[in-house]
Amino acid sequence: MCRDKDEGIRTEKRFHMTPTLSKMFPESCLLIVVGVIIGILLRFAINLHMSPLTPNTFFFYMLPPIILDAGYFMPNRMFFDNIGTILLMAVVGTIFNIATIGVSLWACGLTGIFNVDLPFLHVFLFSSLISAVDPVAVLAVFEEIHVNEVLYIVVFGESLLNDAVTVVMYHMFESYNEIGPSNIIPVDIVSGVGSFFVVAVGGTIIGVIWGFLTGLVTRFTDHVRVIEPIFIFVMAYLAYLNAEIFHMSGILAITFCGITMKNYVEQNVSHKSHTTIKYALKMLSSSSETIIFMFLGVATVNNEHIWNTWFVLLTIVFCSVFRILGVLVLSALANRFRIHKLSKVDQFVMSYGGLRGAVAFALVLLVSPEHIPLQPMFVTTTIAVIYFTVFLQGITIKPLVRVLNVKRANKRKPTMNERIHERFMDHMMAGIEDIVGKTGNYNIRDKFKRFDNRFIRPYLIKNLQVS
């Protein structure tokens, strides 16, 4: 298997050395194709059946490096300036997609078009996992097309935070299926709704605490600079494991651990350690993405599939249609409170960027065939939806971005003059909000900075005096 992974990485290098191919096809498409080829060789050439990517392998080894890389290098200002829109899309949008896709598939099942019995709870279990907008797939495509920062952070932030919704909803419907529809009582429904807030808030708090602890530890690493990067990786992973142990959101934990620790760690570690952290994280996340998409290709060949044409087609249609409707409705609501409105072009890219990927695939593999007899059909449909979004949408989004003239990201660093004016405007807007008695982004940011500078930074950053 190591030889297969090395072959995939070598193929990826040749892919980037071919400008025509790399401009037309996303890297994720190539990796899936390589995985399919490897799966065919394993199964038909040497008659070897390799088990696909298991949920434990994905959630505990493959996903954490990708999310830590995204959280640690996330533009914090842009993320928190757009946190209202991101939460609206991630929470309300995901619940809307789960409800509409589930009801639509169940209603179609009542007509007998699928030729199988689709119980209500079974369909909603499937709709909860297929509604997961995958951060791995979004990162793989959106980082290549370099859209503007606001559009990127809204789509990526949504895909990252909707893990709390999809995983909780998935486990809730999984437990409902185990209990049985006739045995569900109102207390079960209330506990399911409450568990969403507990999982989301709990994962966030755990991540922030471990971020502070990492800053505290790196304050005392003057004489052991060589192990500074290890502390970053190990403590972030411990935040993820800690959240999973208490059944909180591990992705939210490691995301906010990365966001929190960056504010303090970068001023404690040496320049060499900072360089090591940067390139090691990029290497680990890139390797994980490579292996994930290759395993998806292998699973296409080696899994036992049950193909239901109408179920596959209607799932793709409903995922696409309700994604568009959700983005249009929620963007109109968000624009009522945003200074910089989301344009129609931005909304189109957001709708088109709802890629499904390894998160949905890993969740469908968790489904127990004992409780859900149609699990093989769900696996096949999930792979089909992933292929549709990654290949069709992933390939066509680049030319669409050019045709629609979507504003692209500006890669240059801000000048000293721009930084001074930005800081000046922050203080001025915070003062204006304070005078008019309005608590806005600038006011909240200014109050947090004052609290941070007085009570947190002196204890977590070396060479700062405690006032």
Check pLDDT > 70 for residue 120: yes
Q: How far is CA 294 from CA 27, 49, 253, 357, in A?
A: 11, 15, 27, 12
Least confidently predicted of 117-121, 136-140, 390-394, 454-458: 136-140
Report pLDDT digits (tens) over 376-395: 899 999 999 999 988 888 78
Check pLDDT > 70 for residue 145: no
Instruction: Report pTM.
Output: 0.85
Mean pLDDT of 418-446: 73
Check pLDDT > 80 for residue 86: yes
pLDDT of residue 1: 46
* Bridge partners for 408 per DSSP: 147
pLDDT of residue 465: 53
Spatial neighbors of 19 by CB under 8 A, at least 6 apart, are none
Token digits for 14? 């040749």
- 408 three-class SS: strand
pLDDT of residue 106: 93
Reported residue count of the chain is 467
Mean pLDDT of 328-356: 87
Mean pLDDT of 159-167: 77
Check pLDDT > 50 for residue 214: yes
Mean pLDDT of 312-326: 94
Mean pLDDT of 24-29: 73
Least confidently predicted of 133-147, 238-252, 388-402: 133-147
**What is the Cα–Cα distance from 86 to 163, expressed in whole angstroms?**
13
Mean pLDDT of 139-168: 76
Q: Please report, rounded to a whole number, the percentage of residues in the chain having pLDDT higher than 70.
A: 85
Mean pLDDT of 3-30: 59
Check pLDDT > 50 for residue 342: yes
Spatial neighbors of 277 by CB under 8 A, at least 6 apart, are 72, 228, 229, 232, 269
pLDDT of residue 412: 63
Mean pLDDT of 92-97: 91
pLDDT of residue 303: 64
Token digits for 124? 């909603």
Check pLDDT > 70 for residue 81: yes
* Bridge partners for 147 per DSSP: 408
Read out DSSP for 231-268? HHHHHHHHHHHHHHHTTS-HHHHHHHHHHHHHHHHHHH
Check pLDDT > 80 for residue 177: no
Q: Are 104 and 323 in contact (CB under 8 A)?
A: no
Check pLDDT > 80 for residue 153: yes
Higher pLDDT, 385 or 353: 385
Average pLDDT value over all residues in the chain = 82
Higher pLDDT, 127 or 156: 127
pLDDT of residue 127: 93
